[in-house]
Amino acid sequence: MIRTNYASRSSLIALACAVLWLFAATPASAQTDFDVLALQADVRALQIQAVELRGERAAEKAALDTALAKIRADVSQLQAQVAKAKADIVQLQGEVAQLKTPQPANGQSLTLRAPFTVKDAAGRTVFLVDVPADRNLPRAIVGNPTGAHVEMGPSSGGAAALALFDESRGLLVALVGDPQRSFLRLRDNEQSVSLGNIENIGTGLFLRKGNEQVADVSADKAGVGTVKIFGANSKLAASLSSVPDGGTLKTFNSDQKAVAAVFAGPDGGHVALTGPLGGKTAVQLSVTPTGGKVRVFPAEGGKARAELIADGESGAMTVFNGSGNSAAVVESGKSGAGHLVILNAAGENAVEAGSMNGNVGIVRTGPAGSGPAGNLGGGLLPASSIQGKK
């Protein structure tokens, strides 16, 4: 292989160009075969040298690329060694600081003055004790104070508190120990649940969505248990509570008026229904020792207007006037026959209809008084009476 420097390469290229020019400029008639062959040989030699020069340049470039790659690898290795050296220095600095920290004598405890911080080998805070100026109470923080961490310490009023925060410093869990008001609160986005005495209505379980109430399960100081369900805008929708004789279930309309109640009494179960404004009972369903009872009242309250009862083997329906006196009664007797009584305003029987022995129907009107009596059906009946004939 012919090796030349840069100047030699330039000279060869110039010579080749001159030969080609001469060859092109000489008339064909003046050239001999010998001259043509010589010039062609020179051109081939120049072409071979040009190929060799290009190969040398490619080899030199490959060598330079290999050297550059090795240099880069060496730099990366040096950077890793520098990073390790820095970590070792931080660790040594921590060990030196620990060695410089006064060690307690045998049988004595180590005393530190707050605030102080404990960091890991990378310089990150893992434990912090301080006294924030805004509350003047000590606290201990485990983790990154600006990210996810645990905070504990006394709170105002002599209580103790433990709080867990997420990466964005959002409060997720709070545990407060206080003889007057202890509770545990868990939060997930907008929803939260609290267990304990947090609503000042007794100990219980309280579900919230944002600031709106969802459901409460609580017991007051008297030991009365209550379950409350809320609708939109924290409006009470239903409540279930205990009473001395049993339990009570109430439902409320959108105006927060109790319009229906189911409760247990000493004589059995009861249902009370009201108008849209709540207040006085309009319909009452109950159970008596002899059977069921239904009573209806005016919307504004007052005395019953009608009553339907079951009395053993018989039943009765009574309609009352505004004074509370019976105005009409329909009932079944022990024999199974029906009996109808219509009364006047004074509460006296005015019309009575039923059946006599032998299933004979009879209608009596009264009361008997002055004036002629109208007797029908046998001549032996009271005034104004009608008797059927078997």
DSSP string, 233-287: GG-EEEEEEEETTEEEEEEE-TTS-EEEEEEEETTEEEEEEE-TT-SSEEEEEEE
Position 300 scores a pLDDT of: 77
Total structural domains within the chain = 2
Statement to judge: residues 145 and 72 lie in one domain:
no
Q: Which is higher by pLDDT, 288 or 142? A: 142
Is 381's pLDDT higher than 60?
A: no
The domain of 141 spans 113-180
Burial class from Cβ neighbours inside 10 Å (0-12, 13-18, 19+) for residue 88 reads: exposed
Q: Which has the closest alpha carbon to 193: 181, 205, 201, 175?
A: 205
Statement to judge: residues 10 and 95 lie in one domain:
yes
366 within domain boundaries: no
Statement to judge: residues 87 and 154 lie in one domain:
no
Statement to judge: residues 28 and 88 lie in one domain:
yes
**353, two tokens:** 């209809």
Statement to judge: residues 16 and 93 lie in one domain:
yes
The whole-angstrom separation of Cα 309 and Cα 368 is 31
Q: How confident is the model at residue 67 (pLDDT cuts 50, 70, 90)?
A: confident
Statement to judge: residues 88 and 163 lie in one domain:
no
Read off the pLDDT of residues 240-294 as tens digits, 9 standing for 90 and up: 888 777 888 899 988 888 889 888 877 788 888 888 888 888 888 888 777 888 9
Element of type H or E holding 4:
none
Q: How many CB atoms lie within 10 A of CB 303?
A: 13
The whole-angstrom separation of Cα 245 and Cα 266 is 6
Name beta bridge partners: 117. Answer: 128
314 within domain boundaries: no
What are the backbone dihedrals phi and psi of residue 67, each rounded to the nearest 5 degrees, phi first? -65, -40
73 within domain boundaries: yes
Statement to judge: residues 46 and 126 lie in one domain:
no
Mean pLDDT of the 310-329 span: 86
Domain end residue (candidates: 99, 127, 157): 99
> What is the Cα Rg of the chain in Å?
55
Read off the pLDDT of residues 322-346 as tens digits, 9 standing for 90 and up: 888 888 999 887 777 888 889 888 7
Statement to judge: residues 28 and 94 lie in one domain:
yes
Are 140 and 128 within 8 A, CB to CB? yes
Statement to judge: residues 91 and 122 lie in one domain:
no
Domain end residue (candidates: 153, 180, 207): 180
Element of type H or E holding 324:
none
Statement to judge: residues 118 and 168 lie in one domain:
yes
Strands (E), 39-182: 116-119, 125-130, 139-143, 149-154, 160-165, 171-177
User: Highest mean pLDDT range out of 7-16, 31-40, 106-115, 155-164?
Assistant: 155-164
Domain end residue (candidates: 180, 196, 227): 180
| Range from 20-34, 92-106, 336-350, 360-374 carrying the lowest mean pLDDT | 20-34
The whole-angstrom separation of Cα 96 and Cα 117 is 16
Contacts of 57 (CB under 8 A, 6+ apart): none
Q: How many CB atoms lie within 10 A of CB 289?
A: 8
Name beta bridge partners: 227. Answer: 217, 240
151 within domain boundaries: yes
**81, two tokens:** 């060694």
323 within domain boundaries: no
138 within domain boundaries: yes
170 within domain boundaries: yes
The whole-angstrom separation of Cα 278 and Cα 284 is 14
Are 246 and 265 within 8 A, CB to CB? yes
Statement to judge: residues 64 and 126 lie in one domain:
no
Q: How confident is the model at residue 377 (pLDDT cuts 50, 70, 90)?
A: very low
